[in-house]
Structure 1
Amino acid sequence: MRLLGKTAIITGGGSGFGAGIARKFAAEGARVMVADINRDAAQSVAAEVGGIAHTVDVASNDSVQAMALAALATFGTLDVLVNNAGITHLPMMMEEVPEEAFDRVLSVNAKSVYLTARHLVPHMKTNGKGAILNIASTAGVSPRPRLNWYNASKGWVITATKAMAVELAPFGVRVNALNPVAGETPLLKSFMGEDTPEMRAKFLSTIPLGRFSTPEDMGNAACFLCSDEASMITGVAMEVDGGRCI
């Protein structure tokens, strides 16, 4: 029960890594808000973990503000924020990515971190404590060709994490990131371009441990970084990648 008594918001919590983090947090004693743009998915996971569901578009200031207010109204306080929601563009040459796809990737993957900070960091600073976890990617460390702007957005998240950690440390707020390799999530097909045995084998050949990241892997790592056991850890971008970035 490493998160007993703590409250948490997990964006993109309705599926994939976010759902895995929500399940782990709840199992470790946290009260969880499962926030997702897909209302049904959020409600399903929230019901499973005994949490609350909230529909949010993390790229919208008004929507993120409403999420923050709802969480504080329900919980009274917030201890943990997990910025997990993310999307990618389809694999293609950088100059061929449509402007609309570029804008959406940067809005969901990068602007969302700014928006949640805008509406929740003041509360954590007042409390003198808090943990923020940003879900980045190995793509921000070891970029793959044809995912240029997705790579760049995750590199932004890693740099933002370190900058946030330095600025918020005097206020008792820790900020870390996780860098997963691709996993069995709704984004897997988009990363590979097509989900075939041949493409999976090619992708897995780049991961020394020979498997994808799982929601359970992410939940375990997230739980540690957001728990008091990691009270001396801030500004870290931990790779959960089976050795992909070696």
Structure 2
Amino acid sequence: MRFEGRSAIITGAGQGIGRAIARALASRGVRVCVSDLDPISAQNVATEVGGIAVACDVRKADQIARLIEQASAGLGDIDMLCSNAGFARGSMLGPTSSPDDQWQDSWDVHVMAHLRASRLLLPQMISRGEGWLVNVASAAGLLSQIGDAPYSATKHAAVSLAQSLAIEHGDQGIHASVVCPLYVATPLLGYNADAPKDRPHDRVLTADDVAQAIVTGLEEDRFLILPHEEAGLYFRRRAEDMDRWIDGMRRLRRETFKDGAPETLNDLHRRI
């Protein structure tokens, strides 16, 4: 992919991985629209990278339509959609312990937001014969995150949607990619994104590490982008013997929860 002169919309870009992606793309000459639920965070990042800011709640179809309209007005034709917005509240007592609104919000943010934005952008991309649809999902979409079933289930759906976009529109010049990191030192896990110095081990990457992996993956035109290489190994092991994988995950859960259920996702990932 040639970055210079391209345009991109990045959702959830007010902090964490989204902000790192905005910085990485802008440094390579991409004109970026920084979108976030928090308008102040979006504007701060946009000012930093010389882009434009549009506040958007990606759970709402009308706000996604407004985002696409305002981004197009400010940047012209949009070359790339980077659906990065996401959240995780945890579900420590199992899938049925989470209320319906948590499941619905997870579905709207992790799946429908990407679908709705792609629906609006695909016609112009197809007419130009090229476009990039990037979904920042999670290794939870390839494996299974203990303690957060709504997150895992909807990230699995995000991976599946990305696969369908790649299959159905690849011959029309559309490059679909899905990004599946393991743990990343972002505010989602309680880290100070500007100084994530208290990482418990090297497997917890920084947001900049993930952004660089995305840039490299786009340069190499890869569908599956794995900032943590070991996620690919785990994914293959799961595919080879699902029963064995589930037994292993049950052992991991027993060990992780032996002193009681973790209170937060930050506490959970530090125990694993």
* Structure 1 and Structure 2 fold alike (TM over 0.5): yes
Query: SS at 2:185's partner residue?
Result: coil
In the other structure, the counterpart of 1:185 is 186
Q: Given residue 220 of structure 2, which amino acid in structure 1 is its aligned partner? A: A
Match of 2:133 in 1: 132
2: CA distance, partners of 1:74 / 1:222: 24
Q: How far apart are the structure 2 equivalents of 1:80 and 1:223? A: 12
Residue 238 of structure 1 is aligned with which of 209, 225, 228? 225
Provide the rounded CA distance (Å) in 2 between the counterparts of 1:109 and 1:158.
10
* Pairing 1:221–2:216 present: no
Paired residue secondary structure (1:170): helix
Structure 2 counterpart of 1:40, one-letter code = I
Partner of 2:180, secondary structure, is strand
- Structure 1 distance, partners of 2:154, 2:174, is 23
Moved over 4 A (4+): none
8 Å CA contact 2:214, 2:225 repeated in 1: no
Give ranges in structure 1 of 5+ residues lacking alignment. 191-196, 205-209
Question: Which structure: larger Rg?
Answer: 2
The Cα offsets for residues 158-197 of structure 1, whole Å up to 9 and x where unpaired, read as 111111001111210110111111212121149xxxxxx8
Output aligned runs, 1:86-235, within 5 Å: 86-92=86-92, 93-189=94-190, 201=200, 204=201, 210-226=202-218, 229-231=219-221, 233=222
State the alpha-carbon separation in 2 of the partners of residues 179 and 185 from structure 1. Answer: 15
- 1:133 touches 1:222 (CA, 8 Å); kept in 2? no
Secondary structure of the structure 2 residue equivalent to 1:180: coil
1:245 Cα shift?
4.9
CA deviation digits over 1:115-164, x for unaligned, max 9?
11111111111111011110110111121222112101111111111110
Mapped contact 1:2–1:29 kept (Cα < 8 A): no
Kindly tell me: are residues 2 and 174 of structure 1, through their superposed partners in 2, closer, same or farther at Cα, counting changes over 3 Å? Answer: closer
RCO (CA 8 Å, sep 6+): is it higher in 1 or 2? 1
Provide the C-alpha distance between the structure 2 equivalents of 1:104 and 1:129, rounded to a whole number of angstroms: 31
Contact 2:26 2:32 in 1 (8 A): yes
Give ranges in structure 2 of 5+ residues lacking alignment.
Answer: 192-197, 234-272
Normalising by the residue count of structure 1, what TM-score does the alignment of the two structures yield? 0.86
**Aligned residue number for residue 194 of structure 1:** none
Deviation digits for residues 92-135 of structure 1, max 9, x if unmatched? 21111111111111111111111111111111111110111101
SS of equivalent to 1:143: coil
TM-superposition CA deviations, 1:12-69 (whole Å, max 9, x none)? 0110000000000000110000011110100010000011111011111110001111
User: Does the 8 Å CA contact 1:140/1:155 hold for their aligned counterparts?
Assistant: yes
Contact 1:23–1:49 (8 Å) recurs in 2: yes
Distance 1:166 1:9 in 2: 22
Partner of 2:24 in structure 1?
24
Asked whether the 8 Å contact 1:64–1:119 carries over to 2, the reply is no
